[in-house]
Amino acid sequence: MDGVRGVYNNAKRTAVVLHVVPHSIFHRQDLRERDAVVLRRDQELEEVNGQLKDLQGLFDEVNGQLQHECGRIERLQGAVSHCAKQAKELDSLQNMLEESHRMLAQLRETLEKERAERMRVASLLEHEQQRTQLLLDVLKHFKDNVRRSMLVLLYSVGILLRGEAPRPYPSDAA
């Protein structure tokens, strides 16, 4: 761009110089040459202006592509941000899952202990029921023996009280 301005400024200076130079015959040839130079420089300027317009078109096109890419980058950044948020949520869920696994393991261990304790208590209960039944059987046998002994005793006392001679109890004879 500075080169274009320099060419333009040179062309202006040349035009000023051409007007200042007296119009002489010798100078006419110089003027024609200078006019030709100015014309060439004007053509160069037009060419440079055309190139600048082409460059401006390219810049506009590149700027459009750059805007498009910026929009794409913003969308990608949004997607990355969303993925990062989801990754944090996933980490949180994974931590919660690990905690629930630990709690389930503790619960399983507690259940196993309870089950073992229940089996031990059931075994003790069964043992106590057998012992109780055995004691009840012993008591019943003892009670039956005491009754029999009492009846024999009462029978013997009754016979003695009546003055009779002792005789065996009827069930003992059989």
Query: Tell me: the pLDDT tens digits for 44-80?
Result: 999 999 998 988 999 999 999 999 999 999 999 999 9
Range of the domain at 30: 2-173
The tokens describing 74, both together, are: 């913003």
pLDDT at residue 21, as a whole number = 45
Q: Does residue 125 surpass a pLDDT of 50?
A: yes
Indicate the number of domains in the chain.
1
Which of 1-15, 133-147, 149-163 reaches the highest mean pLDDT? 133-147
Closest by CA position to 139, among listed 169, 150, 147: 147
Q: Is the pTM of this model over 0.75?
A: no
d(CA 41, CA 43): 5
Give residue-wise pLDDT tens across range 146-165: 988 888 887 777 777 776 66
The tokens describing 77, both together, are: 């950044």
